Amino acid sequence: MAFEFIIDPIFGALNFVFMPLIKAWGPMLGVFVISTMVSFFITVANKLLVDQDKLQESQKKMKAFQQEMMAAQKSGDPKAMAKVQENQAEFMKMQQAMMMNSFKPMIVTFVPIILLFWWMAAQPAINKMVVELPAFVFYVLLVPVFHMFYHQSAGVPYMAIEWLGWYILCSFAMSFVWRKLLGLKGAGM
């Protein structure tokens, strides 16, 4: 393989760091710890690479513009609609700048996360993991979001999610915690 000289040392390092944890605490807690670390990494990247004050200001301006646009549409006033359409170019530039600003952390975090996912998918201790949940919890929390990551466990009156669904669930929760602790102002993960 062309990438083995790159992948083997990375997988070796990931095995060294995470496999003792997974063997000692089990794959469920291991995936939770991994998702917590990745969420922290992404949150710190967002904190360092995105100007939080500028992001918050842009979001306020965009919300005000959207409200103005909705009010103009409801009123049916051609003058109000013309005014909104004049400001639409500025709105689009602001939206583009916000989007480009939000791509900075993604560029930094994308490759490490893909490599980590590749490693996790290759680990039998992780990729065979199934987390069984009570039906109430399953239906309230997971059906709308994780439909593709769950299945009914054989002979168990509970629903279950596999490792990727568990990772995503843990990641959402921990991202929220890290964002609050680190004081990120903007929306998103």
Tens digits of per-residue pLDDT, 160-181?
778 888 898 899 999 999 999 9
- Calpha distance 129→25 (Å, rounded): 13
Can you read off the two tokens belonging to residue 83?
């005014």
Spatial contact of 81 and 73, defined as CB atoms under 8 Å apart: yes
Q: pTM to 2 decimals?
A: 0.73
Spell out the per-residue pLDDT of the chain, length 189, in tens: 556 667 778 888 888 889 998 899 989 999 999 999 999 999 999 989 888 888 888 888 888 888 888 888 888 888 878 787 887 888 888 888 888 888 888 889 998 999 899 889 889 888 888 887 777 777 776 555 555 555 555 554 457 778 888 898 899 999 999 999 998 865 443
Residues in Cβ contact with 7 at an 8 Å cutoff, skipping those fewer than 6 apart: 1, 115, 118
Q: What residue ranges do the domains of the chain occupy?
A: 4-53+103-182
